[in-house]
Structure 1
Amino acid sequence: MTINRYFEIIYILLDRKIVTAKELAEHFEVSTRTIYRDVDVLSGAGIPIYASKGKGGGIALLEGYSFNASLLTSNEQDDILIGLQTLVVTEFPNSDHILKKVARLFKKETTNWIDVDFSPWGSGQKNKQLFALLRDAIVNQLVIHFSYYNSEGEKSERDVEPLQLLFKQNAWYLSGYCLYKNDFRVFKISRMLEVTVTNQTFNPKSSPIAIENTERQIAQSSVSITLRIASKGAYRVYDEFDDHMITKNKDGSYTVNAQFPIGPWLDSYLLSFGTLLEEIHPADLRARMVAQLDELKSNLIDS
């Protein structure tokens, strides 16, 4: 990334005083022309950097120049380090290398304050690599192909221009432009199978704010539901619902009033509460749930 290269050029020059364009070009695996262009950009940004020709010449900073960390407050320095640490735990290329250099420039110790694993508990290495694969496809603007199961259980093949990774309500989603639907879509990553990155590049299209757009679509097909959940289900209540949706009853149970999108997944979701679920409203949903339980009971007896 160009910004990282600019920063590292300054760091190298602070450390070594003078370096030839050829040495920098070999270090970054770019042409000397690119290095001289970087020097022009840095100079235009007010960094006192220059290139001299002849024996003993090279690229250097004006004598006496030093990175003035005091231009940033201590809190601003901490914010930069925290941002870099976040990139490190997502295994963003070269982020650990850059974090160490910035910490030395700020003369600060870094704290291992965050650790992130984007896969479910007990996942294999393949699932753990999926996040990095999607991240790289987004950064390099490459179309991805995958099989996808929607909330109706229907399978389809998708080619998507990936735009953004989203985290919402304990799950990861991918926002992108679906070439199959010719529209922007949000995909639940756990339902994406056999994900591959193609060689097809794309120019990102201007997109709506993915989460807000999806929430609007869901709200248009949602129904208001009231649940009473036993006191032993407190962990589910507070994990899955906002405080304003929850009322704690005198007997220790919880009443939850929430909007749910209509679809087959809703029955499965409500059944997942098992005996923790004590009441359901409206009545037609309750009747449907009873029918589902009767069918389940019949299946288990006949098996």
Structure 2
Amino acid sequence: MQMNRLFQIVYLLLERKTMTAAELAQRFEVSTRTIYRDIDTLSGAGIPVYASKGKGGGIGLLPDFVLNKSLLSEDEQKEILFGLQSLEATNALQTSQVLSKLSTLFRKEEVHWIDVDFSGWNSGDVERSKFGLLKTAILEQRVAKFVYYSSYGKRTERHVEPMRLQFKNRSWYLQCYCLQSRDLRTFKISRIEELEITDRLYELRRDIQLKPVDVAMPDDQFTYVDLELLFPPHMAYRIFDEFERTRILKQKDDYFLVTASYPEDDWIYGYLLSFGENVKVLSPPHIRDILQAKAKKIAEMYSNPS
């Protein structure tokens, strides 16, 4: 509590130039004696704060004081401001207010160097609303409840203890302790519906160690398949965006040989079909057979007007 008060005192003095001990005491609901002790603490930490008596006097900072002279370097200030800006789109923090305060504290103009939006084209407001609710649940340690749809469309109702949001492979995930499964679970945020934050509080489970999100969701059991794919030269724009560089080998005829490993399910079939005639599956053979059967069904569907 004291550290937070000390920070706010410095911020107020930078913003208002001078304030009386009585004004500060009233602001923080403490005694003037406590305020003077805070001033001594700030002074001992190297903050050039002073108190003057008489009419027009009060507590203030030396006019040329900038925070980086005492605590943070120029580069450290920029890293803090830029880092907060990159989080603004997710509502992970109350960044607008924090950025404003820190910009004043550092005596810098806000430079909006980055604009990040991880939400989908058609669901921006909905996704941001989920981030706000989940952020609150994590910070306040409150149980969340929602409806979840698995990759197979199975609908379940969940009560969870949210622990962390993580971004991987173009998607956001919620890592949490699921009260139904009684274990650590990971849920894709885009499949979460009817999200609510309850009044039920929970204690952090120190015995659970969070791990990086795996491609396969813990609620589903997948068999991984190792793929060898051949792409024509004009597909380079997608290949280098969507596959690891170390898994791409350019051939003598300028075609690209790509190796990849994915959970085998309807998603990977659809993903490969999204390349149309611009990918050839070299192995395994059963994937070629599945794609051929699906392409045949698609052709029959469109050849039949009814």
Which bracket does the TM-score occupy, shorter chain normalised? 0.7 to 0.9
CA contact (8 A) 1:147 1:157 kept: yes
Matched residue type, 1:225:
L
Matches of 1:45 and 1:205 in 2, distance apart? 40
**Which whole-Å deviations, capped at 9, do the CAs of 1:114-142 have from their partners, x for residues lacking one?**
11223112335333322222222222222
**Which whole-Å deviations, capped at 9, do the CAs of 1:239-263 have from their partners, x for residues lacking one?**
2111001112333332110111122
- Alignment partner, residue 271 of structure 2: 269
Structure 1 residue aligned with 2:296, among 259, 270, 294? 294
**Which whole-Å deviations, capped at 9, do the CAs of 1:232-291 have from their partners, x for residues lacking one?**
332321221110011123333321101111223222222222222223411122112222
Matched residue type, 1:23:
Q
Q: Which runs of 5+ in 2 are unaligned?
A: none
- Alignment partner, residue 162 of structure 2: 162
CA contact (8 A) 1:152 1:265 kept: no
Matches of 1:2 and 1:277 in 2, distance apart? 62
Greater alpha carbon shift after TM alignment, 94-103 vs 197-206: 94-103
Does residue 23 of the first structure (1) align with residue 26 of the second (2)?
yes
Matches of 1:90 and 1:4 in 2, distance apart? 25
State how 1:114-129 maps to structure 2 within 5 Å. Answer: 114-123=114-123, 125-129=125-129
State how 1:42-191 maps to structure 2 within 5 Å. Answer: 43=41, 46-47=44-45, 68-71=67-70, 72-91=72-91, 94-123=94-123, 125-191=125-191
Structure 2 residue aligned with 1:243, among 229, 238, 245? 245
- Alignment partner, residue 210 of structure 2: 209
Q: What secondary structure does 2:190 align onto?
A: helix
Greater alpha carbon shift after TM alignment, 197-206 vs 121-130: 121-130
Does residue 253 of the first structure (1) align with residue 266 of the second (2)?
no
Q: What secondary structure does 1:185 align onto?
A: strand
CA contact (8 A) 2:90 2:128 kept: no
Structure 2 residue aligned with 1:224, among 223, 226, 231? 226
Matches of 1:293 and 1:267 in 2, distance apart? 10
**Which whole-Å deviations, capped at 9, do the CAs of 1:7-57 have from their partners, x for residues lacking one?**
2222114533324355314xxxxx548x959x769939955799x9xxx9x
CA contact (8 A) 1:117 1:128 kept: no
- Alignment partner, residue 28 of structure 1: none
Cα 1:236–1:222 shift into 2, 3 Å: same
Matched residue type, 1:24:
R
Matches of 2:229 and 2:43 in 1, distance apart? 60
CA contact (8 A) 1:144 1:159 kept: yes
CA contact (8 A) 2:91 2:128 kept: no
Cα 1:245–1:62 shift into 2, 3 Å: closer
Greater alpha carbon shift after TM alignment, 191-200 vs 290-299: 290-299
Cα 1:89–1:192 shift into 2, 3 Å: closer
Structure 1 residue aligned with 2:281, among 279, 282, 287? 279
TM-superposed CA distance for 1:213, in Å, is 6.2
Cα 1:121–1:292 shift into 2, 3 Å: same
TM-superposed CA distance for 1:97, in Å, is 3.1
Matches of 1:101 and 1:76 in 2, distance apart? 16
Q: What secondary structure does 1:288 align onto?
A: helix
Matches of 1:45 and 1:158 in 2, distance apart? 52
Matches of 1:136 and 1:43 in 2, distance apart? 33
| TM-score between the two structures when normalised by the length of structure 1 | 0.78
Q: What secondary structure does 2:110 align onto?
A: coil
Q: How many residues align?
A: 293
**Which whole-Å deviations, capped at 9, do the CAs of 1:48-84 have from their partners, x for residues lacking one?**
799x9xxx9xx95798995552233221222222233
Matches of 2:2 and 2:168 in 1, distance apart? 31
Q: Which runs of 5+ in 1 are unaligned?
A: 26-30
Matched residue type, 1:197:
I
| TM-score between the two structures when normalised by the length of structure 2 | 0.78
- RMSD of aligned Cα (Å): 3.9
